[in-house]
């Protein structure tokens, strides 16, 4: 082997080692980015099959104040089960199942031990009171007879201690006087043209979800909440209302995906024209983790969710 060829081989080996180090450094940087991004979705988990019965129900991790889950209905008739252990009596359950793509018709059942406390009907559970302690199960299904073998969904659930609630602080009718979200559930009363605004901190990359319970006293008379998400300047980001179906829908949910910058955001609640009552309650999660300052140490999850549309 002459000197020129040997030099070329040494040069190639040197280039190879340099390129390998660059590749390793690049992969390391990507990994760090993904870790930090994953931290933004603090409560995000994925479905683990099989989970088609109470016996195989997927455990939702303890210590998280709410979880944001991605799953699939794999075959027609498939039911996905999720479990939260040792939920206390008088806890409040909020849940939202959103279709990731057409034509799924998402529905939620809720069970405590072997007792069903929420029957099929809707993709939202708002402020369901748990009357006895025990293991809590969510049963998710696609109620549409569409012949599709796989439908994807997002599922958010939060469980709140019944005593973990704070009222609005009047007057909170503009962003400069907004009531801080300081508990698992925030409560309010909205009369006439009243405006109620609540402030919370959003983090970068995180989604936001809110569900309001429009009949907290369960007297059959509902407040028609109009829920708006505002940015730090007070500009509208998302809005949703329940369309006036007061007896059927005792909730308002706004769902979607907005990749926010870190900073202050606001929930604005006003009264719809079909309101039959004045009271409501709600909670907020960011990226699946609760915004509320007060934590429920004995719970696997937390308050309601309001996601953007």
Q: What is the mean pLDDT of residues 42-61?
A: 84
Domains of the chain: 46-160 (2.60.120.380), 165-290 (2.60.120.380)
Q: Which residue in the block uniquely carries the two structure tokens 């907290």? A: 216
Could you give the percent of the chain with pLDDT greater than 70?
A: 66
Q: Show the DSSP H helices in the chain as ranges.
A: 3-40
Q: Give residue-wise pLDDT tens across range 192-223.
A: 999 999 999 887 766 777 888 999 998 988 89
Q: What is the DSSP string of 248-270?
A: T--EEEE-----PPSEEEEEEEE
Burial 222-242 (b: 16+ CB within 10 A, else e): bbbbbbbbbbeeeeebbebbb
Q: What pLDDT shows up at residue 71? A: 86
Q: Which residues contact 87 (CB under 8 A, 6 or more apart)?
A: 112, 130, 133, 134, 135, 136, 159, 299, 300
The pLDDT, as a whole number, for residue 16 is 55
Using CA atoms, how far apart are residues 228 and 74, in angstroms rounded to an integer? 34
pLDDT at 1 over 80: no
- pLDDT bracket for residue 150 (50, 70, 90): low
**What is the predicted pLDDT for the residue at 305?**
40
d(CA 288, CA 292): 12
Residues with Cβ within 8 Å of 254's Cβ and at least 6 positions away in sequence, in order, are 209, 210, 227, 229, 238, 239, 240, 306, 307, 308, 309
pLDDT score of 238 more than 50: yes
Q: Is the pLDDT of residue 257 over 50?
A: no
Residue 24 has pLDDT above 80, yes or no: no
Distance, in Å, from the CA atom of 283 to the CA atom of 304, rounded to the nearest integer, reads 4
8 Å CB contact between 198 and 179: yes
């Amino acid at each position: 082997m002459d000197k020129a060829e040997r030099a070329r081989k040494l040069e190639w080996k040197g280039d190879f080692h340099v390129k390998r180090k660059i590749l390793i450094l690049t992969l390391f940087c990507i990994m760090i980015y993904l870790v930090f991004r994953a931290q933004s979705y603090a409560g995000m988990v994925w479905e683990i099959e099989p989970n088609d019965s109470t016996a195989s129900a997927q455990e939702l991790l303890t210590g998280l104040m709410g979880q944001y889950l991605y799953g699939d209905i794999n075959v027609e008739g498939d039911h996905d089960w999720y479990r939260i252990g040792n939920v206390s009596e008088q806890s409040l359950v909020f849940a939202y199942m959103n279709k990731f793509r057409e034509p799924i018709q998402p529905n939620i059942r809720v069970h405590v031990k072997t007792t069903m406390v929420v029957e099929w009907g809707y993709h939202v559970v708002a402020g369901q009171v748990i009357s006895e302690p025990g293991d809590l199960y969510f049963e998710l299904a696609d109620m549409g007879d569409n012949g599709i073998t796989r439908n994807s969904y997002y599922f958010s659930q939060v469980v709140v201690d019944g005593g973990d609630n704070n009222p609005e602080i009047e007057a909170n009718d503009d962003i400069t006087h907004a009531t801080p979200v300081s508990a698992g559930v925030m409560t309010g009363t909205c009369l006439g043209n009243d405006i109620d605004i609540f402030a919370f901190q959003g983090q970068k990359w995180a989604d936001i979800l809110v569900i309001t319970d429009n009949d907290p006293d369960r007297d059959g008379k509902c407040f028609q909440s109009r829920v708006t998400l505002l940015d730090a300047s007070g500009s509208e980001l998302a809005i949703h209302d329940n369309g006036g179906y007061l007896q059927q829908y005792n909730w308002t949910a706004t769902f979607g995906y907005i990749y926010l910058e870190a900073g202050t955001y606001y929930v604005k609640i006003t009264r719809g024209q079909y309101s039959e009552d004045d009271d409501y309650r709600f909670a907020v999660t960011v990226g699946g983790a609760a915004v509320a300052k007060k934590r429920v140490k004995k719970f696997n999850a937390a308050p309601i969710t309001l996601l953007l549309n």
